[in-house]
Structure 1
Amino acid sequence: MIILTLNCGSSSAKYQLYDWSTKKGLATGIVERVGIEGSVIIHKVPGKEELKVLHPCPSHVEAIQLIMDTLVDPEKGAIASMDEVKAVGHRVVHGGEKFKKSVIVDDAVLEEFRSIQSLAPLHNPANIMGIEAARTVLPGVPHCAIMDTAWHQTMPSMAYTYALPYSWYRDHGVRRYGFHGTSFLYTAKRAAVLLGKDPFETNVVIAHIGNGASVCAVKNGVSVDTSMGLTPLEGLIMGTRCGDIDPAIPFYMMNRTGMSPADMENTLNKKSGVLGITERFVDRRDIEDAAAQGDELAQLSIDAEGYRIRKYIGAYAAATGGIDAVVFTAGVGERGPQVRTVALRGLSYMGITIDEERNELSMTRNAETVITTDDSPVKAFVIPTDEELVMTEDTYALVQGTYDVHTNFTYSFQKPDYVNAERAASVGKDCAKRPGLDKIIVTPPASKA
């Protein structure tokens, strides 16, 4: 069975084509600048040269049609016909309280997503547009929704309830929901494998650090708290989002400057975070380079971002009653040693002792590594996330009728002998570039000789 997964943002559409029978990815790519002049598709097929083509995409319908046309292109494509695609999995950022697991999309499910659009105004409309467009282009196959919020439905009420008028929750759904659920699910299960433990006897704190960033407290294998809230604005310092602030600040600045509510929302979401601190950078690599050249605001950004993560690690270790490991994942988590250093600094009293050499070596998307010392009772792992695999496995199981909530369902990557073939084929190049990297790659205990 060939499965297509789609992750539609407000102006983009990411995709992956996966062959379930061979357990291999056939193609990946993204259409950027959807609805904006200069739309472009970047398309990758293993063994073929990367394709980058400008093509007008005034809406997601055209973007998804472009993806389909590219996938079946005789020279650059991966399959002969779209008839080979038997199911489509869609990322949906916000599923509200109704959805505790992935679902097959029908008209009723789509209507439910529309009813909660106000909870994620920057994300859900694009997700819905993507589903509608894909159902138009591929009407004869099942479409499945995999929701970021579903993973966090195990949070207790004391964790998701805000100290606000309770009627706001009862009447308007104002509560903590949390996001990055597919990433947390994957990395929580993989951390248990690396520790050689039953996932439901494992406590970890996971830091998903990218342009969007959040932390999750995992106790006995399920989410019990997370840093993002009603929306993806709360919590950590992010690329352009402020994270935790005094809630009086927006009112103070609106009164001082005359900013409108729309201006303030735009500032908090798109002009804050590390961009706000540095006043010019979003990419953490640019920030690290600037800090190395003596830019004080760049260094402040690194210190502040890492410090915020460290506070959450401590808080969530307390919330879980003690942890087995800290996990870093996503773009910065996987490739940002400076932020990781600050985040773990001074945590030896908790049993976490960072190995600076290992931390500097750990910059790969193709292997799981350990960045703490051998005698550190609590490990710090860097685990490259694989949200697309979660989406693919959920979609396959939904179509087959074998799917259930993750506490009653076993994924392929939970097995000690699981290997991502594409990453395994690429890790050798990373090791050649970074001598010593091979020494910090983690082998699951059950598969050791």
Structure 2
Amino acid sequence: MWTLVLNCGSSSVKFALLNLDDDRVGLTGLAERLGSAGASARLDMEGERRTADLRGGSYAEAFAVLAGALDELGVRTQVGAVGHRVVHGGERFHAPVRLTDEVLGEIRACVPLAPLHNPANIAGIEAAQAAFPDAAHVAVFDTAFHQTMPEVAYRYPVPGDWYRQHGVRRYGFHGTSHAYVAARAAQDLGRPLAELNLVTAHLGNGCSVCAVQGGRSVDTSMGLTPLEGLVMGTRSGDVDPGLHDYIARQAGLSLSEVTSALNKESGLLGLSGLSNDMRELEEAAGRGHAGARLALDVFVYRLAKQMAGMAVALGRVDALVFTGGIGENSAAVRGAVLARLGVLGAAVDDEANRAAVRGQAGRISAPGALAALVVNTDEERMIAEQTRALLAGVSA
């Protein structure tokens, strides 16, 4: 059976067609700039890249192009399941679930918790259901993996009614990535996942760390929204909550404008005044750009501090795991972080660290030091595996 995996954003759809029975990838692709005149789609299939203009710029048009590609491959009728990434499932969803009208209603109820993400997820789900009406549709939630956090980790020290009436608590995100790389790290270490205490770091334009104990999340850096925690591409991560009121009054901004700036104009971009792209910042810092150097230093410092803090949740750390676009490709960031984590017994093997780029994963720690690994994440495969497991359970 083929499983189609969809990740629908506000202006894009990332997709992958996987057959887990024989480990085949039928196609991958991305539709982007949806909702605009420049919308387009690219598909990688049978060793060839194809592009198409999406003149209407809608999800429906993107899925029509995808369906045409599946027809060309002769597999459209063999797509038995569609796995959808959904960012926020609140406290309602602890695991993947088959999509029904009731489930869609629950996802809509989580829109206030993820106003930038869940509406796009819902629109994509509805368009995909229309395009693939005979397939089973499954929602896989970014937040579900973190529902195993204890109350001491997920509660905020705020009025209790905020939690009971409005769901104000820490939820965490990037759950499929943290779950996938933790399992892969256990394989690489040759030890059962159930015995391991891991600190996983998903580092891309969005960043988070997670304390994984025996395969279960016991703490993570993101909170009520994906804005909490680490310095990210354009997101600030942790700031003083009093900043909102202060800068609103000083700069004459509304609360929503302050929140927008913390999401879209901060992080690496805000610190450097140059870019949110780690590759560009590393090059600029090498040329002496002071803003780029500051952005890198703050990113590394905050990341190391958060990773060390996860040791409190675990009690014992068996390995550090780096993944995501930055985690998999920036030897400079990994090396600088490990240098700061000597307190945990970490030390880098410079040669191994330099070699672990462009898809090359593996151990990057010095002999005798705390294990540190680079693991290539594969959220699409994780979503496909969770989708198939759910449907196998339902059919049984």
TM superposition score category, shorter chain reference: over 0.9
Aligned length in residues: 396
Q: Match for residue 391 of structure 2?
A: 399
Aligned partner (choices 312, 331, 340) of residue 306 of structure 2: 312
Q: Is the 8 A contact 1:308 1:343 kept in 2?
A: no
- Name the counterpart of 1:373: 366
**Quick check: 1:263 aligned with 2:257?**
yes
Between the aligned residues of both structures, percent identity stands at 46
Correspondence 1:27-106 to 2 at 5 A: 27-47=27-47, 49-73=48-72, 79-106=73-100
Q: Is 1:244 aligned to residue 238 of structure 2? A: yes
Q: Alpha-carbon deviation of 1:402?
A: 6.4
Normalised TM-score (structure 1): 0.86
How big is each residue's C-alpha offset from its partner over 1:290-335, in whole Å with a ceiling of 9 and x where there is no partner?
0110101101111110111100111111221011100000100000
> Runs (4+) of structure 1 moved beyond 3 Å?
none
Q: Return the alpha-carbon distance in structure 1 between the equivalents of residues 394 and 109 of structure 2.
A: 28
Letter in 2 for 1:135: Q
Q: Give deviations 1:86-143, integer Å, cap 9, x for gaps.
A: 1111000111101111011111100100111110011111111111111111112110
Q: Which residue in 2 is equivalent to 1:445?
A: none
The residue that corresponds to 2:350 in the other structure is 356
Residue of structure 2 in register with 1:279 after alignment? 273
Is 1:9 the equivalent of 2:1?
no
User: Post-superposition shift, 1:392?
Assistant: 0.8
CA separation in 2, counterparts of 1:32 and 1:288?
Answer: 27
* Partners of 2:256 and 2:143 in 1: CA distance: 26
TM-score normalised per structure 2: 0.97
- Counterpart code for 2:374: V
What is the CA distance between 1:178 and its match in structure 2? Answer: 0.2
Q: Deviations over 1:126-173 (max 9, x none)?
A: 111111111111112110011111100100001000011110000000
1:81 shift after superposition: 4.8
1:136 aligns with 2:122: no
Partner AA of 2:53 in structure 1? L
The offset of 1:16, in angstroms, is 0.4
Does the CA contact (< 8 Å) of 2:99 and 2:139 recur in 1?
A: yes
Shift of 1:25: 0.6
User: Which residue of structure 2 lines up, in the alignment, with residue 424 of structure 1?
Assistant: none
Q: Which runs of 5+ in 1 are unaligned?
A: 74-78, 405-449
Contact 2:328–2:361 under 8 Å retained in 1: no
The structure 2 residue matched to 1:184, chosen from 146, 160, 178, is 178
Distance 2:46 2:243 in 1: 49
Deviation per CA, 1:208-262, whole angstroms, max 9, x where unpaired? 0000000001122210100000000000000000000111112111111101122
**2: distance between equivalents of 1:205 and 1:46?**
37
Single out whichever of 79-88 and 10-19 deviates more from structure 2.
Answer: 79-88
CA contact (8 A) 1:19 1:25 kept: yes
Query: What amino acid is aligned across from residue 301 of structure 1 in structure 2?
Result: A
- Counterpart amino acid of residue 21 in structure 1: D
SS at match of 1:345: helix
Report deviation, 1:179.
0.3
Contact 1:238 1:273 in 2 (8 A): yes
Instruction: Write out per-residue CA displacement over residues 373-397 of structure 1, whole angstroms, 9 at most, x where no aligned residue.
Output: 1221x11100000111111111112
Task: Return the alpha-carbon distance in structure 2 between the equivalents of residues 346 and 120 of structure 1.
Answer: 33
Give how far 1:53 is off: 2.4
Match of 2:113 in 1: 119
